[in-house]
Amino acid sequence: MDGLDLGVDFLALEDDPRARARFIVAKEKGKRFLKIRRRYKKPDFARMILDLRNLGWSHEKIAVVLDVSGSSTVSSWATGTRPFYEHGDMFIELWKDQTHLERYPREGEWDYRYDIGQLDLL
Q: What are 97's strand-pairing partners?
A: none
Mean pLDDT of the chain: 79
What does pTM read for this prediction? 0.61
Residues 28-86 pLDDT 10s = 888 888 877 777 788 889 889 998 998 999 999 999 999 998 899 999 999 989 999 99
pLDDT of residue 119: 47
Place 117 in a pLDDT band, splitting at 50, 70 and 90. Answer: low
- pLDDT of residue 5 exceeding 90: no
* 55-68 burial: b if 16+ Cβ within 10 Å, else e: eebebeebbeebeb
Cα dihedral sign for 108, 109, 110, 113? negative
